[in-house]
């Protein structure tokens, strides 16, 4: 132990000969400067033990142990903190190295996504804004329009267009320009209008011998003078699109009266006024409002007699609905005379002549049950257009409607199978029938084969009809079956057959509103009945 | 032998590359699917229903009262305000009209201000004019037709999102919808197909939907 004291004397630069008591005193001074130093306290305890101060030595020893323990604990805590820090650093490094490849992939995916969705660059030379989706739609519609044009006008050649160097593709692109199609349509319309106007001048002089002249007031007949105003025709073309969809006739009449009052039509704009008035008469007639239909017909006749066939059409229907058969017959004769007059004078288009004959057939059949006259009128209408080499779209449309009327007449008359099949073939191959007309065609075909006991073919037609009703998004009224139903009353078919035919007619009729599921159910019931026989 | 070439690194590289390629393939497939979804091809069909017109621009929708619009247009035309393709005000929710006699294809309607129009959120509010105009549509006799602003500036005027929301809402009431894109250069035009074949306003359904 004396070695320890000697070493301390040396370390603290004390004389070798100083006593342990003096050393103890020196240690106590040092402890005042550093009271928590366990080494000094241990030296103090040793010195106290050597000097016989046992109690104080024990106390100092305990204090040394206590301080040493505290130091050990502090070292432990410090080590633990270091470990936590180290572990955190390792975890961060681990995360970085593990997630880095995923981050790279994610970043690449975002860049790839953005590159793929980069908006299409607009062509600098084109001033019009272009949108990929809209253009895509427009192109699809263009292709559809072109194929329809080609179908309806086989005589159209896309290579010419006044330029030998222009390719078909260039021509198609030229049609993409705004209003190019309307330009084509306008040119066609203008040529039609020229012929129409000449015809109207001649028709204006027509006075039917079967009815008394209509008494009109000066106010009704006279319109303001002046040149046609720019914009009025366009306004009416635009407003027409809205007014024609109006089903509330009183509202329609009020809208038309308001606009007529606002515009104060001039003599030179008479045709526009007549077109507006014809909308009212059509609406009232469809609503079976006899009084207002006749009122509008008189008004129209006073304004302009160029729509004379239209006027007699509505008069015939209205008088018939009112039970005034003599007046209806007179109006129908006036219709026929007006048509003859127009044909004699000439200058009404062939499509119009054919349409008027078709309408004449419809009147004869639906209101007077006169099948021979109806057949004759339909055949005349067909002949008017069939011989033409270059048929326009409107001619083809009229032919398709005439053919369907003729089909009803054939089914009513139950013509021979060859005649019926020839007509059916022509209708099927024309590709001009709209969806509502296709339903009528299938219904008539099914009835024809049903009444001729060809059940197998009737089933095929009914299945076609069933498929159509399953697929069409909306049932559209397009046929007046009243003449056909009326003819059934005098037919010689047995009661059960009559019932089934009437049920089938109801399936394709809009007189009886019913959901599509009900129509399909009725077809299924008729199919079951046929299969059972 | 252990000091010769080790294949461990090569295996890691190959497996990582294959993994990345698979991820790209999956992303590509998802991308293709979304493309198909984005092209919502409208299938139009003939109808006897009457169109009720709306314009969708930005996040707003305007129900159009055609009677009022045409009455205003008539007044402007009779006063000679429409001559020389002049754009004239209609005093109707920031709409302006234009008549181009030479074009012979109807009247164009331009949108100058949409601040008075209802936002699409108003669809759900029972008291809003937009909600009322939609609930007044009778699905048995009417359908909704939208002129949707198609613009490359999505935030400012593209009306597709508003239209989609309205269409979804209308579907709940079994009301059919139809639409056509319009823009500032090719505005909404009201015309009749008797004078211009492209002037049709028909209901449409999406290819994925059953009619």
| Cβ within 8 Å of B, A 300-359 | none
Tell me the shortest Cα–Cα distance from B84 to chain A, in angstroms. 9
pLDDT at site A202: 44
Check whether residue B31 and residue B69 sit in a common domain: no
Check whether residue B108 and residue B133 sit in a common domain: yes
Report CB contact under 8 Å: A262, B78.
yes
| Residue from B15, B29, B30, B73 to probe the interface with A (highest A Cβ count within 10 Å) | B73
How many Cβ atoms are within 10 Å of A230's Cβ, its own excluded? 15
Tell me the shortest Cα–Cα distance from B109 to chain A, in angstroms. 11
Total domains present in chain B? 2
Nearest to A182 among B48, B83, B196 (CB): B196
Q: What is the pLDDT of residues B47-98, one digit of tens each?
A: 989 999 999 998 899 999 999 999 999 999 888 888 888 899 999 999 999 9
Identify whether the C-beta of residue B103 lies closer than 8 Å to the C-beta of residue A182.
Answer: yes
Q: Would you say how long chain B is, in residues?
A: 211
Assess whether pLDDT exceeds 60 at residue B39: no
Residue A321 Cα to chain centre, angstroms = 38
Which residues of chain B make contact with A279, given a CB cutoff of 8 A? none
Check whether residue B143 and residue B202 sit in a common domain: yes
Domains of chain A, each with CATH number or no CATH: 2-83 (1.25.40.10), 193-348 (no CATH), 434-533 (no CATH)
Check whether residue B106 and residue B34 sit in a common domain: no
Run of H or E residues at B10: helix B8-38
Check whether residue B27 and residue B124 sit in a common domain: no
Check whether residue B9 and residue B82 sit in a common domain: no
Q: Chain B contact for A105, CB < 8 A?
A: yes
pLDDT at site B80: 85
Which residues of chain A make contact with B71, given a CB cutoff of 8 A? 258-259, 262
How many Cβ atoms are within 10 Å of A64's Cβ, its own excluded? 20
Check whether residue B145 and residue B162 sit in a common domain: yes
Q: Chain A contact for B91, CB < 8 A?
A: no
Identify whether the C-beta of residue A260 lies closer than 8 Å to the C-beta of residue A273.
Answer: yes
Q: Chain A contact for B155, CB < 8 A?
A: no
Q: Is A341 exposed, middle or buried (0-12, 13-18, 19+ CB in 10 A)?
A: middle
- Find all residues with CB under 8 Å of A109, minimum gap 6, and list them: B23, B24, B27
Q: What is the pLDDT of residues B109-161, one digit of tens each?
A: 999 989 999 998 888 888 888 888 888 999 999 999 999 998 766 555 789 88
- Token pair of B99 as six digits: 């008549």
Cβ burial A232-260 (10 Å sphere, 16+ → b, else e): bbbbbbbbbbbbebbeebeebbebbeebe
Q: Chain A contact for B23, CB < 8 A?
A: yes
In chain A, which residue's Cα lies nearest the Cα of B42? A137
Starting at the edge strand that comes first in sequence, how are the strands of the sheet with B95-99 ordered? B87-92, B95-99, B107-111, B188-190
Which residues of chain A make contact with B67, given a CB cutoff of 8 A? 255
Q: Would you say how long chain A is, in residues?
A: 533
Report CB contact under 8 Å: B71, A137.
no
- Token pair of B209 as six digits: 């939907």
Q: What percentage of chain B has pLDDT greater than the value 90?
A: 37
Q: Chain A contact for B40, CB < 8 A?
A: no
Q: How far apart are the first and last CA of chain A?
A: 134
Which residues of chain B make contact with A129, given a CB cutoff of 8 A? 151-152, 183, 185
Check whether residue B35 and residue B56 sit in a common domain: no
Check whether residue B25 and residue B81 sit in a common domain: no
Q: What is the pLDDT of residues B171-201, one digit of tens each?
A: 988 999 999 999 988 899 998 888 777 888 9
Check whether residue B94 and residue B193 sit in a common domain: yes
Q: Chain A contact for B70, CB < 8 A?
A: yes
Identify whether the C-beta of residue A405 lies closer than 8 Å to the C-beta of residue A358.
Answer: yes
Nearest to A263 among B78, B83, B101 (CB): B78
Residue B28 included in any domain: yes
How many Å apart are CA A202 and CA A197, to the nearest integer? 9
Which residues of chain A make contact with B189, given a CB cutoff of 8 A? 238
Tell me the shortest Cα–Cα distance from B1 to chain A, in angstroms. 31
Cα–Cα–Cα angle for A272, A275, A278, nearest 5°? 150
pLDDT at site A125: 42
Report CB contact under 8 Å: B198, A182.
yes
What ipTM score was computed for the predicted complex, to two decimals?
0.77
| Residue from B37, B105, B153 to probe the interface with A (highest A Cβ count within 10 Å) | B105
How many Cβ atoms are within 10 Å of A418's Cβ, its own excluded? 8
Check whether residue B16 and residue B107 sit in a common domain: no
As averages over each run of 10 residues, the pLDDT of chain A (533 residues) reads 79 84 88 88 90 90 91 92 92 87 90 77 47 61 62 48 38 43 46 46 66 79 78 87 90 90 85 86 92 90 80 94 94 92 81 91 92 92 84 84 92 92 91 86 94 92 92 85 86 84 89 87 93 84
pLDDT at site A198: 44
Residue B211 included in any domain: no
Pairing of strands B177-182, B142-149: parallel
Domain that holds residue B20: 1-39
Check whether residue B101 and residue B18 sit in a common domain: no
Nearest to A255 among B23, B41, B67 (CB): B67
How many Å apart are CA A22 and CA A6, to the nearest integer? 13
Residue B191 included in any domain: yes
Tell me the shortest Cα–Cα distance from B115 to chain A, in angstroms. 24
pLDDT at site A158: 46
Residue A43: CA count within 13 A, CB half-sphere: 24
């Amino acid at each position: 132990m004396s070695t320890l004291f000697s070493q301390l004397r040396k370390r603290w630069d004390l004389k070798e000969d100083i006593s342990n008591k003096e050393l103890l005193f020196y240690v106590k001074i040092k402890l005042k400067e550093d009271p928590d130093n366990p080494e000094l306290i241990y030296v103090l305890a040793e010195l106290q033990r050597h000097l016989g101060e046992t109690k104080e030595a024990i106390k100092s020893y305990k204090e040394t142990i206590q301080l040493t323990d505290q130091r050990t604990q502090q070292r432990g805590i410090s080590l633990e903190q270091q470990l936590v820090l180290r572990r955190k650093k390792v975890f961060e490094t681990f995360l970085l190295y593990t997630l880095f490849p995923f981050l790279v992939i994610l970043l690449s995916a975002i860049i790839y996504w953005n590159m793929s969705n980069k908006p299409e660059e607009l062509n600098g030379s084109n001033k019009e804004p272009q949108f990929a989706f809209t253009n895509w739609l427009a192109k699809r519609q263009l292709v559809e329009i072109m194929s329809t044009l080609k179908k309806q006008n086989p005589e159209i050649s896309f290579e010419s267009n006044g330029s030998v160097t222009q390719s078909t593709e260039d021509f198609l692109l030229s049609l993409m320009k705004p209003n190019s199609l309307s330009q084509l349509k306008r040119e066609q319309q203008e040529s039609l209008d020229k012929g129409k106007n000449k015809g109207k001048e001649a028709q204006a002089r027509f006075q039917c011998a079967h009815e008394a002249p209509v008494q009109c007031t000066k106010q009704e007949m006279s319109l303001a003078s002046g040149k046609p105003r720019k914009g009025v025709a366009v306004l009416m073309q635009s407003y027409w699109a809205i007014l024609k969809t109006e089903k509330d006739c009183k509202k329609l009449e009020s809208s038309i009266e308001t606009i007529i009052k606002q515009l104060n039509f001039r003599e030179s704009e008479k045709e526009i006024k007549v077109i507006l008035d014809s909308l009212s008469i059509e609406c009232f007639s469809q609503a079976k409002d006899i009084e207002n239909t006749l009122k509008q017909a008189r008004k129209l006749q006073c304004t302009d007699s160029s729509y004379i066939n239209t006027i007699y059409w509505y008069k015939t229907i209205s008088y018939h609905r009112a039970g005034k058969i003599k007046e209806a017959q007179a109006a129908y004769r006036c219709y026929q005379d007006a048509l003859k007059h127009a044909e004699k004078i000439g200058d009404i288009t062939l499509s119009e002549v054919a349409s008027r004959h078709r309408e004449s057939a419809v009147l004869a059949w639906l209101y007077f049950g006169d099948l021979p006259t109806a057949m004759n009128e339909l055949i005349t209408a067909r002949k008017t257009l069939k011989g033409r080499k270059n048929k326009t779209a409107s001619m083809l449309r009229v032919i398709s409607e005439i053919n369907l009327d003729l089909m009803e007449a054939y089914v009513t008359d139950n013509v021979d199978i060859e005649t019926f099949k020839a007509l059916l073939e022509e209708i099927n191959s024309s590709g001009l029938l709209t969806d509502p007309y296709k339903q009528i065609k299938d219904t008539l075909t099914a009835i024809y084969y049903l009444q001729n006991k060809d059940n197998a073919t009737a089933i095929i037609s009914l299945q076609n009809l069933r498929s159509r009703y399953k697929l069409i998004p909306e049932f559209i009224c397009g046929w007046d079956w009243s003449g056909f139903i009326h003819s059934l009353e005098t037919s010689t078919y047995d009661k059960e057959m009559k019932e089934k035919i009437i049920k089938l007619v109801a399936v394709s009729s809009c007189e009886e509103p019913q959901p599509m599921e009900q129509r399909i159910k009725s077809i299924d019931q008729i199919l079951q009945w046929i299969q059972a026989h | 032998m252990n000091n010769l070439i080790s294949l461990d690194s090569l295996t890691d590289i190959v497996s990582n590359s294959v993994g990345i390629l698979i991820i790209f393939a999956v992303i590509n497939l998802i991308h293709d699917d979304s493309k198909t979804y984005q092209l919502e091809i409208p299938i139009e069909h003939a109808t006897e229903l009457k169109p009720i017109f709306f314009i969708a621009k930005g996040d707003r929708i305007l129900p159009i009262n055609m009677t009022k619009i045409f009455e205003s247009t008539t007044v402007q035309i009779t006063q000679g305000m429409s001559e020389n393709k002049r754009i004239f005000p209609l005093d109707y929710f920031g709409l302006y009209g234009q008549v181009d006699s030479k074009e012979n294809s109807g009247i164009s309607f331009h949108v100058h201000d949409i601040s008075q129009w209802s936002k699409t959120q108003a669809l759900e509010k029972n008291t809003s004019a937009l909600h009322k105009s939609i609930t007044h549509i009778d699905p048995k006799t009417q359908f909704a037709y939208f002129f949707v602003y198609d613009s490359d500036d999505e935030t400012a005027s593209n009306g597709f999102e508003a239209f989609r929301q309205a269409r979804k809402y209308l579907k709940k009431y079994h009301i059919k919808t139809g639409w056509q894109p319009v823009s500032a250069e090719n505005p909404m035009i009201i015309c009749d197909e008797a004078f211009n074949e492209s002037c049709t306003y028909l209901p449409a359904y999406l290819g994925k939907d059953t009619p």
